[in-house]
A and B are shown apart, each in its own frame.
Chain A
Amino acid sequence: MDLLAIIRIAMRALARNKMRSVLTMLGIIIGVGAVIAMLGVGQGAQQTMQEQIQAMGSNMLFVGAGTVTRSGMHMGWGSTKSLIYDDMLAIMRECPAAHAAAPGSNTSGHVVFGNDNWVTRLNGTEPQYFDIRSWPFFEGSAFTQNDVEMSANVAVIGETVRKNLFGATDPIGQTIRINNLPFRVTGVLMPKGTSAAMGDDQDDIILVPLTTLQKKITGQPWLRWIMVQALSRQGSYAAQEQISSLLRERHRIRAGDDADFFVRNLADMADVADEAGRVMTLLLASIASVSLIVGGIGIMNIMLVSVTERTREIGLRMAIGATEGNVQQQFLIEAVVLSLMGGITGIIFGLGASYVIAQTLGWPVLVSPLVIVIAVLFSMAVGVFFGFYPARKAAQLDPIEALRYE
């Protein structure tokens, strides 16, 4: 008996009880639809996070001045004065895994332009910072190394600052006052958006030459951070090791003592975010698959009813030459057809739901073809798994008893 004939028989049997078949399928439709939508949302979120971390530069390391404990009191990030410009030069000189580095310090800045004012993060750094962070300019350009040497009053502003101070005015070449000092705006950075990993607005920032910040605003000659770019994402782990041991040596920290700095690896963060995304996706999918299992139980239930209802038919088929295998195959395929049709409808519903979620939440939803293939295979597997017992039961009927069944 060929497969096509069995499938035809199965379709006919299912068409005989349309309402019942559709309701049974609904369990699988909802299950598969939910899994598809949840995986889509989960993977979309994961990808967004990855993109944002990529945007920060996944091969980046952040060396921060550590906390200092003075008479039992933690003074907070950057309270040590131990991280200095020479540390950065040493990193470039002695750490082969480090490709580039930018020093930096920061404070908060009160910015005024015309009648508008804004409070933002004020960072002092050197021009290579923009390359390391792969942060392009929306208009204008970065300040130059010359500006750094001259401690020039020039500034690069983020999109949030531009929006709040300038509105429709072109900011390039305009003079703003930062903490009461006049600065000429040389460039506006491309908006980066809110970082999913950090949760802060990355565009709320002003960058000025490091020396300008140190000499004219904070008066502090030490650094609060050094951004280091490793050669690659893999290389960032080696760089982390090298920088750590180099700085411990330079800062004369004995083995076992706490360091007065920290090295944060963005590749680490990418991994953490990856892992978090995976866990979330898995969680959503496993909740959704519960409904798939419930749908499978529905199929099993209806197949058992069907076997009982069609006892005489089974007896007849056996009497006219169907083997146990034929009967089992017939019911198994009926269950698989049921679950597969439900699965395919579920995929369509899932894609629809993903689209609606994407539209209403403004959340990127990512449904990979692999997920669809898995959904199809999984719904087939549900059919086989939950159809097996009823089919077995049908095949093991005694034809004499079955023919006599009323």
Chain B
Amino acid sequence: MATTSQTETSLTGTKNQETVILVEAIHKYYELGETRVHALRGATVEIARGEFVTIMGASGSGKSTFMNILGCLDKPSAGRYLLEGVEVSSLSKKELAAIRNRKIGFVFQGFNLLSRTTALENVELPTLYARVSKAEGEKRSREALALVGLADRVEHFPSQLSGGQQQRVAIARALVNRPSILLADEPTGNLDSRTSVEIMDIFQKLNDEGLTIVLVTHEPDIAQFAKRSIQFRDGKIRRDDWIQNRPVASEVIKNLPKLED
């Protein structure tokens, strides 16, 4: 339970690495009529480039609020949040949109693909809001789809894809603008266990290539695929541990029974 000292050592351990996310004593409260809901009560986290962090915690622990702030969808009420050295709290809505577009890739539990829109066009979506030419956007989108193993599903509509494939399209969409961090909010929440491990396999491979990933999950066996685990409780960080003996997802899949159709 010696969380603080753990954090200290982890920070010293990554000292020579570049800090991507620096959150200092952030607070978030919502005014609900008379009462004030305190969602975050002074959380401090530093995440270096190339880390793979899971965020865990019961509902109401503040982890969703934390993710929203990391994703620049929400601003902290107090404290600082620096993304690649940029103080996010001071940015305008337009600048925040640009950061979400270029520096952050989102993966959601419900995939959030546009129906009646092909996989390719779904992946292209972020490039439409970036200053990227149509041709360049399409090229990048095809590359991103190839990266998640869907090169042959480019023209498929979401309704023609399985849940795992849909989530992989969503991951490709998150990657298309080459973000600094990938934020995944319960990406395996709607998937069966085998497909979940497949998704974690993709995350591990992306992380091996240097992508910083922050992942929220309820499931401890999914969390163990990451390198570092942060636990939230009552708006504060309770634990911040390095994960020992983490399994390799591609190895785990081999031992899983194939699903009978």
Contact = CB atoms under 8 A, between A and B. Distances in A.
Contacts of A110: none
B73 A323 contact: no
B116 interface: yes
B97 A403 contact: no
A326 interface: yes
A400 B97 contact: no
Interface string B86-119: 0000000110011011100010101010101100
A321 B114 contact: no
A361 interface: no
Nearest to B106: A319
B126 A321 contact: yes
A1 B116 contact: no
Interface in A310-338: 312-313, 315-326
B74 interface: yes
Most buried by A among B71, B100, B116, B134: B100
A321 B173 CA distance: 12
Contacts of B117: 12
Contact of A321 (B98, B110, B112): B98
Interface residues of A, number: 21
B73 A321 contact: no
Contacts of B174: 320
B68 A320 contact: no
Contact of B100 (A1, A5, A320): A320
Nearest to B137: A5
Interface string A275-318: 00000000000000000000000000000000000001101111
A308 to B, nearest CB: 16
A361 to B, nearest CB: 47
B93 A324 contact: yes
A65 B102 CA distance: 90
Nearest to B121: A12
B161 interface: no
B108 A1 contact: no
- Interface of chain B: mostly helix, strand, loop or mixed: helix
B125 interface: yes
A284 to B, nearest CB: 43
B128 interface: yes
B29 interface: no
Interface residues of B, number: 27
**Per DSSP, are chain A's interface residues mostly helix, strand or loop, or mixed?**
helix
A325 B95 CA distance: 12
A16 B126 CA distance: 21
B112 A1 contact: no
Contacts of A16: 116
Contact of A403 (B98, B112, B134): B112
Contacts, number: 60
A221 interface: no
Nearest to A325: B94
B95 to A, nearest CB: 9
Nearest to B170: A316
A403 B108 contact: yes
B101 A400 contact: no
B94 A323 contact: yes
Contacts of B101: 320-322
Interface in B62-98: 68, 71, 73-74, 93-94, 97-98
Contact of A400 (B73, B110, B114, B128): B73
Contacts of A403: 108, 112
Nearest to B177: A321
A235 interface: no
Contacts of A12: 116-117
Nearest to B71: A319
Contacts of A313: 114
A61 to B, nearest CB: 70
A321 B100 contact: yes
B68 A400 contact: yes
Contacts of B252: none
Instruction: With a 10 A CB-CB cut-off, give which of A12, A316, A325 has the most chain B CB atoms.
Output: A316
B37 interface: no
Given A320-B100, A321-B129, A323-B94, A400 B74 contact: yes
Nearest to B131: A1
A149 to B, nearest CB: 90
A321 B130 contact: yes
Contacts of A399: 73
Contact of A322 (B97, B108, B114, B134): B97
Nearest to B101: A321
Given A1-B129, A321-B130, 7 more contacts: A16-B116, A321-B126, A322-B129, A323-B93, A400-B73, A400-B74, A403-B112
Interface of B: 68, 71, 73-74, 93-94, 97-98, 100-102, 106, 108, 110, 112, 114, 116-117, 125-126, 128-130, 134, 173-174, 177
6 contacts: A312-B112, A315-B112, A317-B129, A318-B100, A321-B100, A400-B73
Nearest 7 interchain pairs by C-beta: A321-B101, A321-B129, A323-B97, A320-B126, A316-B112, A321-B100, A319-B106
